[in-house]
Amino acid sequence: MRTSRRTTQKPVFPARTAPRTGSLDELDAVIATCRACPRLVSWREEAARVKRRAFRDWEYWARPVPGLGPSDAPLSIVGLAPAAHGGNRTGRIFTGDPSGDALYAALYDIGLASQPTATHRGDGLELSGVRITVPVHCAPPDNRPTITERDTCRPWLARELELLRPTLRAIVVLGAFAWQALLPVLAEAGWQMPRPRPAFGHGAEVLHTSATVVSAPPATSPRAGSTGS
C-alpha cells in the first residue's frame, strides 16, 4: 500500500468539526476534506492510483464520499462504506458499482429516484424523500473498516442524522455492520434507544416515537450493505 504524501488529520477532526456544521451541504463539503484515518486515506488513494482496468481513463474521486439526498427526507438508507472502484471512483455514494445498480433501480421503482441508473456525478440522478448515507465515508480494504475507523467516522453520521431529525421518520439499514454502527449514533444524535440494544437480524425493527429503524431483508439489501467493489 502506498503511503500518502499528504499528512493526515488527527482522529478528533470529525468530532470537533461535525457539530459545528449548520447544514447538510456544509457537512457534505467538510466530510470530503477529512483525512482522519491514515489506513483509509492510503487505501482510497492507492485504489485511485492503481485503478481497475475498466476504469483506467477515470480520474478517481479518492476522497471521502458524502451522503446523497435532500435535507428534508423522511427516509434514510444507511449502508456500509463506499466501494474502492465505485463511490471512491465516481465521488457519489453507491454510484458505479453493482450495489448501487440494485439500490437505485429499487428506489426508481417506488418513485424515490428520478432514474433507475447511477453511473457518475452529473448523470441526472435526483432523489426525493430519501437520504442515502454510510457510517464510514472512505473505501476500506476488503470492505472491512476497523472498529476504530468506524468510531472515528461516527460524528459525521451523528450530525447528519441530527440535521435530518426534523423530518426523518424511518431508517432502513443495509446489513449488520450498518446496524451496529447506527444504533449508538442514534443515541448520540439524541434518540432514546431501548436497552439492551436490539440484535441485528434481517427485518429487525426498532420502534421509536419519532423514527422507526428497520434492517432490510436479504432480497432488498444490496450485498447485505456491502460496499461493492
Residue 48 engages ligand SF4 in binding (rule: CB under 6 A)? no
User: Which of 136, 173, 186, 211 lies at the binding interface for ligand SF4 (CB under 6 A)?
Assistant: 136
Between 36 and 178, CB nearer to ligand SF4: 36
User: Phi and psi for 173 in degrees, rounded to 5?
Assistant: -105, 130
CB–CB of 221/175 below 8 Å? Answer: yes
Distance CA 122, CA 120 (A): 6
Identify which range of 71-79, 96-104, 146-154, 218-226 contacts ligand SF4 by CB under 6 A.
146-154
Residue 138 engages ligand SF4 in binding (rule: CB under 6 A)? yes
Closest C-alpha to 116, from 138, 87, 95, 139: 95
Residue 36 engages ligand SF4 in binding (rule: CB under 6 A)? yes
Contact track, ligand SF4, 52-71, x by CB under 6 A: ------------x-------
Distance CA 100, CA 35 (A): 25
Residue 137 engages ligand SF4 in binding (rule: CB under 6 A)? yes
- Rounded to the nearest angstrom, the gap between the alpha carbon of residue 9 and the centroid of all alpha carbons in its chain is 20
Q: How many residues at the interface with ligand SF4, by CB under 6 A?
A: 15
Pinpoint the alpha helices (H) of the chain.
12-17, 24-31, 38-50, 87-90, 98-109, 147-164, 176-188
Query: Cell numbers 470530503 correspond to what residue?
Result: 32
Min dist CB 28 to ligand SF4, Å, is: 11
The SS3 of residue 157 is helix
Residue 153 engages ligand SF4 in binding (rule: CB under 6 A)? yes
Between 112 and 175, CB nearer to ligand SF4: 175
User: Phi and psi for 127 in degrees, rounded to 5?
Assistant: -105, 150
Identify which range of 31-39, 169-177, 179-187, 216-224 contacts ligand SF4 by CB under 6 A.
31-39
- Site for ligand SF4, rule CB under 6 A: 14, 31, 34-37, 40-41, 64, 136-138, 149, 152-153
